[in-house]
Structure 1
Amino acid sequence: MAKKSPGLTKRNGYWHINKVVKGKRIYESTGSSDLEEAERYLAKRVNEIRGQLIYGERKTYTFIEAATKYLQIAEKKSLDRDAVSLKAAVPFIGELSLERIHMGTLETFIAARRKAGLKDVTINRDLAIIKRVLTLAARLWRDELGNAWLHEPPLLPMLKSDSRKPYPISHEEEQRLLMELPEHLKSMVMFALHTGLRETELTRLRWSEEDQQQGIFILPGERVKNGQDRIVPLNSVAQAIIEQQRGLHAVYVFTYKGEPVQRLNGHAWRKARTRAELEQCRVHDLRHTFGRRLRAVGVSFESRQDLLGHKSKRITDHYCQAEIAELKMAVERLCDSQ
C-alpha cells in the first residue's frame, strides 16, 4: 500500500487536507475516498498555493464552482428561475474556467436553447444570470489571498428580442380554455383573470397573506417584482375561488394532491391550450387579459396600475380604507361585465 503524504487524514470515509504551505494553511476535503485521487488533489492545491504566493498567479475557478456559490448565497425572488438557467448552462460551460467564458464559448449553449424551441427573450434571461455570476466573480468574490475570482467580466450583449405581442383572450376563448383544464388549474386561471397575479405570485400565494376581514391579500415586497407590498382585492368570483380552496392546505392557497402547485405553465396547461386552439396564449397573457378587461369596463389608469402591482406612490403601507374600497369596486366591475 502506498504511503500517504503528510497532511492527509481520512475522516468519515473521505480524505481531508490539513497542511501548511508557505505559511498558508490548506484545510479542506478532497471530496474523495480514494487515496491516489486525494494525493493528486493535494498536489494540485499545493501547486496552486505556491503559484499564488511565489509567482502571483490567480487561482482558477470553473463556472460550475461560481454557479454553485451564487445559488448558495443569493437571496432573490427569482432564485428558482436562476437555478433553471444555470442548470441548463452547466453542460455547456460548467467545466470551463471563468476566463474562458465569452459569447464565443456560449454559442453552442445559445444554439441548443434555440433548438429546444426557446425564444431569444427567454435565452436573454439565461444570459443575464450568467452575466450576473461573472460580474460577482470579478467585483465581489475573493479567494483566500484576496484575489478576485475573475479579473474582468466579459461583455455579453443580449440577443435581439423576438418577443411577440400580448394576446388578451376573449370571454369565448376563456370558456374554451377552462373546459380543457383540470379542476385545480381551472381555479388558478380564473383567479389570475380576476386578480392579475403573476405566475409565481399565484403559485406561492399563502393563507398568511390574507386579510379576510377586508377581502384582500397583501403580498410582501420580497415576492413582488417591483419590491413593493402589493394589495390584491378580491371580487366576488375571486372570493368564491378562495372559499373553495380554504382548508385544503395549511400554508398555500392553490394545491394539487395535497402539495402546492409549483407552476401553472406545465404539461396540463400546454395540452389544454392546444385542445382549445389557443397555442398563442401564454400564462402571462392572463395578466394582460385582466388589464385589458379593467380598461374595457372603465377603470381608471391609476387604479389599473395599482391593481396590476405596478410601482406606485398611491398605495402606502397604511392601506387607506377608501383606496382599498375603490379597488374592490373596480375589480367587481369584471363580474358585472360577465
Structure 2
Amino acid sequence: MSIFKRGTTYYVSIYTRDGRRIKQSARTSDRRLAQQFHDELKATVWKGDYTDEKPDRTWDQCAVAYLTASQHKATFSTIQMHVKKLRTYLGGCLLKDITPDVVEEIKARRLSEGVAHGTVNRMLEILRAMLNMAVDREWLAKAPKVQMLPEPERRPRWLTYEEEARLLAELPEHLAAMMRFSLSTGLRESNVVNLRWDQVDLDRKCACIYGDQSKTGQPIAVPLNSAAMAVLQEQSQDSAYVFTYKGRPVTRCNNTAWKKALARAGVQNFTWHNLRSTWASRHAMSGTSMFDLQHLGGWSSQAMIQRYAALSAEHLAEASENVVRDGPNTVPTETVLRTLH
C-alpha cells in the first residue's frame, strides 16, 4: 500500500528504480494532501532528483537544542555547566564523528585534570542524554555507547551537634542563617537561595516550593518549625528574596566563604547538601515515620529516605540491649515460657 495511516498521520511508501523502498511521513491527517505529497515525491524520485541523505548535524546544534529543551528543569544551571565543559572537547565536531574512542578520550582528559569519577560521570550522563536526543530527532543513526566510570559507594555524612556549633561560629552571618534554615527544613541549596517572600506564609507557618523549583517536578509544602520561623523573623523583607547579602540575593551557599569556614571549624568531608542528610537523619533518629519524612523532604521514593536516614545506630542502642542476657530490657525466661504455654 503506497499510502497508509498510523494513528492520525498518513505515510507514503515509494520504490526507486533500483528497488529501494522510501518511506516517509506526509505530516498530515488529510488523505487528499497525503496523496498530493505521494505524487510529488514519486515524481521527484523517478526523475532522479531525490536523495534520502540527511545533512550532517554538529555537536553545537545538538547542544543548543538540548539546552532549549532543558530550560524548565530545576537542575538547568548544572546542565549548563556540564554542556559548557563538553564544548571544550566537542565544539565544532560532527555528531557522527563522536565515537566511543572520542568519549574515552574525554574521560581520560578529565581524569588527568584531577576530576573525581562522580563529577566525570555526571558530565557523561548529560552527553549520553544529548546523543539520545539526537537519535530521537533523526540527527544521528545510532548513539555511541557511553561507559560510566566506577564510583566508590558514597557513605552518608551528617553533622554532629558539636560540629554544627563550631561551624555556625565560623560562618558569615548570612550563611549561618541559611545553614540554620536548611537544618530546620531540609530544603536543597537551590530552594533556599531562590526562596522568595511570596512563597512564605508567616501566619500559617509554612512555605511552598513550586513544582518547577523541585528536583522531582512536584510541589513541596514546607511546614516551618520554631527554629525555621526564628530564622525568617531575623531577615529583612526589603528584597523579594528571603536571604540576601548586602541587599542582593545570595546565588550560592557552597562557596568560598563556606569552604573556608569548614576548614576553620575543622569539619571535614562535608558539603552543603550534607545539611539535608543531617536534617533527615535527625528526623529518623527522633522517631519521625518514613512516610512523613518522605513528604517533608519531597522525595519521590522511600529508597532515597533509607539512604539518608540510616546514618546512625545511636537511636537503636536501647533496642540492641534486648538480646543481652540480664540486660536492662531482658524479660525473665520463666515469664517467656509461661507466655508460650
TM-score (norm 2): 0.69
- 1:241 maps onto 2:222 in alignment: no
Q: d(CA) in 1 for partners of 2:154 and 2:262?
A: 17
Equivalent position to 2:258, from 252, 260, 269: 269
Q: d(CA) in 2 for partners of 1:117 and 1:294?
A: 36
What is the one-letter code of the residue matched to 1:311? Answer: S
Q: d(CA) in 2 for partners of 1:203 and 1:95?
A: 36
Instruction: Give yes or no for contact 1:306–1:312 (8 Å, CA) kept in 2.
Output: no
After superposition, the Cα gap between the structure-2 partners of 1:226 and 1:73, relative to the gap in structure 1 and judged at 3 Å, is closer
Partner of 2:221: 231
Equivalent position to 1:60, from 44, 56, 62: 56
Partner of 2:118: 121
- 1:295 maps onto 2:263 in alignment: no
Partner of 1:285: 274
Equivalent position to 1:185, from 175, 184, 188: 175
Q: d(CA) in 2 for partners of 1:272 and 1:248?
A: 28
Partner of 1:37: none
- SS of residue paired to 1:105: helix
Q: d(CA) in 2 for partners of 1:56 and 1:231?
A: 53
- SS of residue paired to 1:68: helix
Instruction: Give yes or no for contact 2:171–2:258 (8 Å, CA) kept in 1.
Output: yes
1:154-196, Cα deviation, whole Å (9 max, x unpaired): 2213222235211101010011111221111111111111111
Q: d(CA) in 1 for partners of 2:77 and 2:263?
A: 27
What percent of counterpart residues are identical?
37
Q: d(CA) in 2 for partners of 1:218 and 1:211?
A: 9
Equivalent position to 1:138, from 121, 129, 135: 135
After superposition, the Cα gap between the structure-2 partners of 1:265 and 1:103, relative to the gap in structure 1 and judged at 3 Å, is farther
Equivalent position to 1:254, from 227, 239, 243: 243
Q: d(CA) in 2 for partners of 1:275 and 1:164?
A: 25
Partner of 2:23: none
- SS of residue paired to 1:241: helix
- SS of residue paired to 1:283: coil
Equivalent position to 1:194, from 169, 184, 192: 184
- 1:76 maps onto 2:73 in alignment: yes
Instruction: Give yes or no for contact 1:201–1:223 (8 Å, CA) kept in 2.
Output: yes
Runs of 5+ consecutive residues of structure 1 not aligned to the other structure: 1-52, 141-147, 314-338
TM-score (norm 1): 0.70
Runs of 5+ consecutive residues of structure 2 not aligned to the other structure: 1-48, 303-341
CA RMSD of aligned residues (A): 2.0
Partner of 1:169: 159
